[in-house]
Amino acid sequence: MLAITCPGQGSQTPGFLAPWLELPGVSDRLHWLSTVAGIDLATHGTTSDEETIKDTAVAQPLIVASGLLSLLALFDHPADGFRVVGAGAGHSVGEITAAAAAGVISAEQAMVLVRERGRSMAAAAEVTPTGMSAVIGGDEGEVLAAIESHGLTPANVNSAGQIVAAGTLEQLAALAEAPPAKARVMPLKVAGAFHTEHMAPAAKELAHLSRAVSTHDARVPLISNVDGEVIHSGQEVLRRIVTQVSNPVRWDLCMETLGDLGVTGIIEIPPAGTLTGLAKRSLKGVEVLALKSPDDLEKAQQMVREHGSARDASQPTWRLVTAPVKGMVEITSSEPGTEVAAGHVVARISSLRDTREVRADHAGTVVEWLVEDGDPVSPGQPLLRLHPQGSLA
């Protein structure tokens, strides 16, 4: 199974977009996305210096646009990707890239959302001097305790041995002066304490904007930063993108789900590198590729052929209720022929970590259960087949 991962803020480097603009049609497409975003992405992706592209209002649209452009180069047509990609995931702002790539929102909607996300997060960051630092190594429990003792938030839990602390610059300085045992603290090139309470004003603004955004259900299963769950509902994908602005990113759980899904190959789209490094350490035996420049396209296309699984992308995912996590399933809904409303709890899945409710994203009639009560299930596994609009005709 092939997965596509989309990086977040901090992955950008000066000039990283320049080689992509040499491909036919890419410059014109970038000009269109720049017009929608109201920002000169070509300049920022080619000649702007490191300090300029560190600006949140610049970095976020630049990252999303570059990812979407690279996918157009990787696949001749979006439908080609829908048929062979088994899962998608984005880190922080990369979730907007993933949502557009999976057909939940259009490229234009993505650029408007990320433009306002970047602006509002930059504005929130100006209220109080804040930042983020990666804590590398150490015992996870001790690291989390140290972060909490300094009044900081574990804003990104990226993998075993890499947790990002966020808060005021004074709090981060105190952590750096007294790091947890066997750990080192590295300041990150970001302009604020993202995914913390400091971003609450930005989340509020994005929530207001999102109410006017129309969505489609994901054509490719998406893995959420919130908890590593597999999400199909377009409205739920959008809701989580909004709330994630002021809540921690659990990339460790996303990678765990990738492993549970049976992913055998991962391509990270530009500006690539960070997520590939994390996958190499956490997902042993999975082939990974950082798609950094057009020079990597041949290798990426080979991976698509080797790891992609052909499937019928026209089959609407909302006809199936799937498992969001792994565990043991407890069926709570009724027999075939029963009507269920949108949001109805049809099952629960229990694991060693917790118990999650499984809800029907759309109203419909129960056609058949694809599992039995007490069966072990994996993320993305179909549980229940629903016929939409309550008709079996």
- Could you give the residue numbers annotated as active site? 92, 195
Q: Are 313 and 83 in contact (CB under 8 A)?
A: yes
Q: Which is it for strands 265-268 and 287-290: parallel, antiparallel or unpaired?
A: parallel
DSSP type of residue 194: T
Distance CA 251, CA 379 (A): 15
One-letter amino acid of 225: N
Question: Considering only CA atoms, which of 285, 234, 251 is closest in space to residue 134?
Answer: 251
One-letter amino acid of 296: D
Q: Where are the alpha helices (DSSP H) in the chain?
A: 26-37, 41-46, 50-54, 56-74, 78-84, 94-101, 107-127, 140-149, 169-177, 200-210, 234-243, 251-261, 274-282, 297-307
What residues pair up with 167 in beta bridges, in sequence order?
131
What residues pair up with 369 in beta bridges, in sequence order?
384
Q: 371-380: b or e for each residue (b if 16 or more CB lie within 10 Å)?
A: beeeeebebb
One-letter amino acid of 329: V
**Rg, Å, the chain Cα set:** 21
Place of tokens 């509020």: 204
Q: 43-78: b or e for each residue (b if 16 or more CB lie within 10 Å)?
A: ebbbebeeeebbbbbbbbbbbbbbbbbbbbbbbeeb
